[in-house]
A and B are shown apart, each in its own frame.
Chain A
Amino acid sequence: MELHELTAHELGELLKNKKVSAVELTKTVLDRIEKVDSKVGSYITVCEDEALKRAKDVQEKIDKGETKSPLAGIPMALKDNMCTEGIKTTCASKMLNNFVPPYNATVAKKLYDQDTILLGKLNMDEFAMGGSNENSYFKQTKNPWDLERVPGGSSGGSAAAVASNEAIFTLGSDTGGSIRQPASFCGVVGIKPTYGAVSRFGLVAFASSLDQIGPLTKDVTDCALVLNAITGHDPMDSTSINIEYPDYTKALVNDVKGMKIGIPKEYIGEGINPEVKKSILDAIEVLRKLGAECEEFSLPITEYAIPAYYLIACAEASSNLARYDGVKYGYRAEKYTDLLDLYKQTRSEGFGDEVKRRIMLGTYALSSGYYDAYYKKALQVRTLISKGFNEAFSKYDLIVGPTAPTTAFKIGEKANDPLEMYLGDIYTVSVNIAGLPGLVVPCGLDSSNLPVGLQLIGKHFDESTLLRVGYTFEQNTEFHKNKAKI
């Protein structure tokens, strides 16, 4: 086995016992990027020199016994919507093509503090809007399992990089499924933490009441390690929750006996691909055999989640993206007549089609005469969705179901129908609307050899239960050992 194929916890042991150096490991992963990224296209920016320099510094700390971090010396990469001081952060948009942040996002700082090594910045759908990476201004990231297919999105680069061993772990962001759906499509582990558990400071905002950062990793143990590194209260984010965060590695217990699991009927009914459904039901059977009590229940509000989600997300986006005016940073149009035209030309040339579509939809939903009918209505439905989950969690410890109705689709297959693309988010958006944590673990392959991901949904701040069930599933199955052949 090559170094770049190992998990962070395996490499952590090797680094600690001086079997490998951080420099050697970083070089190996940089070579891997050099070798496969022309095919996969996970990265927008690779910072080779900075990574090697940092690896040298970290190795010195390891040698002197100055670091206790289990992630010390591990090469990782960040989605290109997380600010990195001195390193271009584009959001995969022409608008931010030349933007070099003057500060680090809290997650970047926390990972640096843990002595990890930043390899570069990952491709995504522009401003995190999309589920296929087809909306990147720069390029199309491919699915490492089948290069004719999408990696999912919007954190497609983050998932593809882990699946093709171009990073040991990555961070993505999830507003309506943007960590979980690409994790499912690329056969890796991904978690969207509870809203407020991870600071959003320095994350380029899309929909502030829904956005949350989380890790994409090769297994559940790595997921717990990275969560330990990035969760916590941050005074720089007023929505960050100030509570005591647990040690997530304590949740890595191989036991689900007596655990009560609910399966929403609506998640395995109409609209799901039969092969995906079979993988999910087989996975539930595995958990049942291991002693979990699994039963179906009804979550009828599910069918209203997508319309509510798109109204809320687009309304918040139209407001958040108003800051791109061509004045303080980012793109500015070359030709304009006056200040108003400067704004308009800059925004028209700087944003791609999907971003414009969502700004238009959000502006419409917030505009005079339509606010009550659309935006307020969606926020009322949000209350009903939260209520539906609260009732379910009075009976169950967690909810289990599919992540997406299909496996990875072909590039271009859905590109001309925005609404059809939106409908693919049916099983993920409710989790963001209610602010819940959602973990995805690989649970099978379809007949085209494409991965299927099982989604585990938990109570607020109960990531530990999800990790425990995900870990147990992983320890008792072989699905996480399936790897993309690239």
Chain B
Amino acid sequence: MKITKETIQHVANLARLNLTEQEKEKLTYEMENIISYVDKLNELDTSGIEPTAHVLPVKNVFREDKTKKSFDREKILANAPSQEDGCFKVPKIVE
């Protein structure tokens, strides 16, 4: 699969990354290399093979719906880069 600079720009936007021109060029080259290597998987016929997301048969792990003690607000906000009135502070998102 050919990786173009446009692909890199598109993927960077999906991944919420701003890349410099230099980074874009480097990544185009490196991803091209890595993707052509992983294309090796196409040598294997996997038709009819079930995909494995999880190796052990664990599913639907439930717990009782009971209230438990949670963290204090202050403790949770302690790591926030910006806060005000007991809330996380972000730039204005609605006009």
Bound-state CA distance A244–B82 (Å) is 45
- A 183-236 contacts with B by CB, 8 A: 195-196, 209, 235
Given that A326-B81, A330-B81, A359-B17 are known contacts, is A384 also in contact with B46, CB under 8 Å in the complex?
yes
Bound-state CA distance A338–B90 (Å) is 9
Q: Is A291 an interface residue when CB atoms closer than 8 A count as contact? A: no
Give the contacting residue for B90; candidates A209, A304, A318, A342; CB below 8 A.
A342
Give the contacting residue for A363; candidates B11, B19, B51; CB below 8 A.
B11
Binds B, one of A49-57, A277-285, A370-378, A475-483: A370-378
Given that A344-B16, A360-B8 are known contacts, is A383 also in contact with B56, CB under 8 Å in the complex?
no
Evaluate contact between A102 and B76: CB separation under 8 angstroms: yes
Main SS of the interface on chain A? Answer: helix
Evaluate contact between A310 and B15: CB separation under 8 angstroms: no
- A 33-90 contacts with B by CB, 8 A: none
Given that A100-B78, A348-B19 are known contacts, is A339 also in contact with B93, CB under 8 Å in the complex?
yes
Bound-state CA distance A417–B11 (Å) is 22
Main SS of the interface on chain B? Answer: loop
Bound-state CA distance A447–B35 (Å) is 36
Nearest CB in chain A: distance from B34 CB, A? 6
Evaluate contact between A381 and B27: CB separation under 8 angstroms: no
Evaluate contact between A238 and B37: CB separation under 8 angstroms: no
Bound-state CA distance A275–B82 (Å) is 55
Q: Is A254 an interface residue when CB atoms closer than 8 A count as contact? A: no
- A 341-388 contacts with B by CB, 8 A: 341-345, 347-348, 351, 356-357, 359-361, 363-364, 367, 373-374, 376-384, 386
Nearest CB in chain B: distance from A315 CB, A? 11
Most A CB atoms within 10 A — which of B7, B8, B17, B23? B17
Q: Is A311 an interface residue when CB atoms closer than 8 A count as contact? A: yes
Bound-state CA distance A433–B41 (Å) is 15
Bound-state CA distance A367–B76 (Å) is 33
Evaluate contact between B12 and A384: CB separation under 8 angstroms: no
Bound-state CA distance A361–B82 (Å) is 31
Q: Is A308 an interface residue when CB atoms closer than 8 A count as contact? A: yes
Evaluate contact between A348 and B18: CB separation under 8 angstroms: yes
Task: List chain A residues, Cβ under 8 A from B7.
Answer: 364
Nearest CB in chain A: distance from B93 CB, A? 5
- Residue interface bits B59-83, CB-to-A below 8 A is 1, else 0: 0010100000001000110111110
Evaluate contact between A318 and B15: CB separation under 8 angstroms: yes
Bound-state CA distance A304–B79 (Å) is 42
- Residue interface bits B32-49, CB-to-A below 8 A is 1, else 0: 011101111111101001
Q: Is A331 an interface residue when CB atoms closer than 8 A count as contact? A: yes
Task: List chain B residues, Cβ under 8 A from A422.
Answer: 34
- Can you report 15 residue pairs joining A to B where beta carbons are below 8 Å apart? A196-B58, A311-B38, A339-B91, A344-B17, A357-B31, A360-B11, A363-B15, A381-B46, A382-B51, A383-B49, A386-B55, A419-B34, A435-B55, A460-B55, A460-B56
Known: A328-B76, A351-B17, A356-B19. 12 other contacts (CB 8 A): A241-B56, A304-B43, A328-B80, A339-B93, A356-B27, A361-B35, A377-B41, A383-B50, A383-B52, A386-B55, A422-B34, A433-B55
